[in-house]
Amino acid sequence: MLHRLRFVTGTDTGVGKTWVTAGLARRARARGLRVAGLKAIESGCRRAPDGSGALIGEDDEALVEAAGAWQGPEDRCRCLFEPALAPGVVADDLGVRIDLDAIEQQARSLVARTDLTLVEGAGGWTVPLGAGRTISDLARRLAAPVVIVGRAGLGTINHSVLTVRAVAADGLEIAAVVLSRQATDDLATARRNAAEIRSQTGATVVVSDELDRVLDRL
């Protein structure tokens, strides 16, 4: 698994991308691998309580901790926004440009020092990054197999199948689709949804209870 890079995207915002990415990082560490978790871009951040005005990204913190808390500032999310809006919308409002070159350089640097680097996007595949760019543009720069995270319940078949098709149309390999099952989601129903998505797409589709199966494919 040396020098493996994987990009994690979602079928929507709030579907459990960070929870799944962190889970994969922890399981990889348990196998003795050196892991990095990079949140590429994060909005909806909070201000540090020390009065410094610095922004803190909860997803960034969760990924770094799951990977073993060894990453320095240069290896963490540096594209943080306070408003809870699509990153490109915020960037355009502020008159700033999200630097995809810098994010790519971060990812490549981490890949050179780890066995597995997990880069998590923001929201879904077509979330805007400003200047006419989307998350798909960042993913294509990295040219890494994609892990798609979706909900486990009602609506996930349509959202997941459409996302699989969009990723494939952009020429990227799909490592797996993970349905993020919450405590209120029925496991049998989640597995039926996974089977239907698998039938329609041919992708590897698992429920999040089976994250080790995903890790085996990474």
Q: Tokens at residue 37, please?
A: 């978790």
Kindly provide the b/e burial profile for residues 118-131, where b requires at least 16 CB atoms within 10 angstroms of the residue's own CB.
Answer: bbbbbbbbebbbbe
Q: Who has greater pLDDT, 3 or 161?
A: 161
Query: Which pLDDT belongs to residue 2?
Result: 46
Residue 198 belongs to what domain range? 4-217
Q: Tokens 């209870």 appear where?
A: 209
DSSP collapsed to 3 states, the chain: CCCEEEEEEECCCCCCHHHHHHHHHHHHHHCCCCEEEEECCECCCEECCCCCCCEECHHHHHHHHHCCCCCCHHHCCCCECCCCCCHHHHHHHHCCCCCHHHHHHHHHHHHCCCCEEEEEEEEECCCEEECCEEHHHHHHHHCCCEEEEEECCCCHHHHHHHHHHHHHHCCCCEEEEEEECCCCCCHHHHHHHHHHHHHHHCCCEEEHHHHHHHHHHC
Question: CB neighbours (10 Å) of residue 39?
Answer: 27
Using an 8 Å Cβ cutoff, are 12 and 151 in contact? yes
Rounded to two decimals, what is the model's pTM? 0.96
Phi, psi of 15 (to 5 degrees): -90, -5
Q: Tokens at residue 76, please?
A: 């963490």
Cα 81 to Cα 41, 75, 78, 89, 202: the distances in Å are 8, 17, 10, 10, 37
Please say if 39 is a catalytic residue.
Answer: yes
Amino acid at residue number 26? R
CATH number of the domain enclosing 67: 3.40.50.300
Q: Who has greater pLDDT, 1 or 141?
A: 141
Which pairing describes strands 4-10 and 116-124: parallel, antiparallel, or unpaired? parallel
Give the tens place of pLDDT for each residue, 100-143.
Answer: 999 999 999 999 999 999 999 999 999 999 999 999 999 999 99
Cα 95 to Cα 45, 79, 130, 145, 151: the distances in Å are 18, 14, 10, 32, 34
Give the mean pLDDT of 181-210: 96
- From 17, 39, 78, 159, active-site residue: 39
156 pLDDT tier (thresholds 50, 70, 90): very high
3 pLDDT tier (thresholds 50, 70, 90): low
Query: Which pLDDT belongs to residue 1?
Result: 45
Give the mean pLDDT of 66-75: 97
How many folded domains does the chain comprise? 1
Q: What integer best gives the mean pLDDT of the chain?
A: 96
